[in-house]
Amino acid sequence: MASPTKEEVREALKRVKGPDLSGDIVSLGLVSDIVVSDGKVILSVSVPAERARELEPLRQAAEAAVRAVPGVKQAMVALTAERRPGSGPAAAPPQRPAPAQAQHAPAPKAGVPGVGAIVAVASGKGGVGKSTVAANFALGLAALGLKVGILDADIYGPSMPRLLGLKGRPEALGGRVLKPLERYDLKVMSIGFLVEEETPMIWRGPMVQSALVQMLREVAWGDLDVLVVDMPPGTGDAQLTMAQQVPLSGAIIVSTPQDLALIDARKGLAMFQRVDVPVLGIVENMSYFVCPHCGERTDIFGHGGAEHEAAHIGVPFLGAVPLDMRIRELSDAGTPVVAAEPQGEHAAAFRRIAEAAWVRVKAEQGSARQPPKIVVD
Ligand code: ADP
């Protein structure tokens, strides 16, 4: 059966009453995104943050209403206390970059106007396929119908120009604001566009920070549902400062199944926990190998390590991506697998990862604005 249209979903949601049982959630303007993809429907309903728990039945009613629409295979509804990007007074005013010397002071975390969510893709160490996953993850989010940007913050080895087949210098739009480049419906900014590839990357702490802040705040991102940030690998000071400096909605940790990498992944987890950034989940990359000749599957590194570890440390497992020559070849050619072979199984795996992460982003945004508990001692 054909996927339902957004309009059909919206019609069905008109039967769900608002938080105070007057009016319906559509007429009250509470329904924000509706993403329909292959019979799966994802949407969020804005509610006052302090009532999120009490309004769980509203969420369930909305989910049931969506499920009843012909053609819907799965419905996911999240409650959020968030406004749509650029929809008015909630947007934060533009923020000037923090002075570079303020390295040890807690960084200001004002949101980026027009950008609904910022998600970091990180790894405990290099070479685990973090950038490959970041590019395909961003494309997976775009395939869900979201407006997506990608910020290549891997200042030590920017990969987005190569991965997305992008060259050239971003145009200056007056003042210091740069226009991001675009490819495959993604807005892209990379330090690689600004610095020659051969330039030795001797970035010291303050320089790294100001480069990042500039790429975040002095780029005309426009209205985006989500900005994916490809972080530098590792969990050192530079990464920690970045995690602090960027108003992250959440982080995804890419790991290979090897034990060693998992130890590194745990460090990544601890780093985000230290700066109060929710970890949306772990992606296991190079999870298993399918022989291109005989089709036999080999778990070279011991498949399932990341999933097991994720369960152990209580972090969601977002999905596994196999080790496949196609993924590498297509990356090297500047045509990531999700863009090059959207009907293929790898693209489907990345879309599932994107979907799982997006639901978590929405849920985190819904719960993040709970009023703080007041403790009197
Ligand atoms: P990182 O950002 O963690 O340093 P990259 O994304 O640059 O890693 O990937 C390192 C190398 O591994 C690249 O050559 C890339 O094409 C390759 N690679 C990444 N993921 C896969 C995969 N699932 N299958 C095959 N090759 C992969």
**Would you say 138 and 183 are in contact if contact means Cβ atoms under 8 Å apart?**
no
Residue 79 φ then ψ, to 5°: -90, 130
Kindly report the number of other CB atoms within 10 A of residue 307's CB atom.
17
Residue 51 structure tokens: 């009532």
**Would you say 254 and 174 are in contact if contact means Cβ atoms under 8 Å apart?**
no
Residue 109's pLDDT is 62
3-state class (DSSP) for residue 3 = coil
CA pair distance 128, 178, nearest whole angstrom: 31
Residue 271's pLDDT is 87
Q: Which residues of 264-293 are buried (b: 16+ CB within 10 A; e: fewer)?
A: bbbbbbebbeebebbbbbbbbbbbbbeeee
Is this model's pTM higher than 0.75 or not? no
Pocket residue to mutate for ligand 1, from 132, 300, 303, most atoms within 8 A of Cβ: 132
Could you tell me if the CB of 245 is within 6 A of ligand 1? no
Residue 261's pLDDT is 63
Residue 47's pLDDT is 79
CA pair distance 171, 295, nearest whole angstrom: 47
CA-nearest residue for atom 14, ligand 1, is: 328
Centre of ligand 1 to C-alpha 364, Å, is 29
**Would you say 238 and 158 are in contact if contact means Cβ atoms under 8 Å apart?**
no
Could you tell me if the CB of 256 is within 6 A of ligand 1? no
CA pair distance 27, 273, nearest whole angstrom: 39
Residue 147's pLDDT is 95
What average pLDDT values come out for the chain (377 residues) when binned by 10 residues? 88 92 88 79 78 82 93 82 39 36 46 91 89 97 94 86 91 85 95 67 55 83 95 80 84 82 78 88 84 73 71 86 90 94 94 93 73 48
Residue 151's pLDDT is 95
Give the torsion through C-alpha atoms of 73, 78, 82, 86, to 10 deg: -10
Residue 303's pLDDT is 61
State the alpha helices, DSSP H only, in 154-204. 160-163, 191-194
Centre of ligand 1 to C-alpha 260, Å, is 17
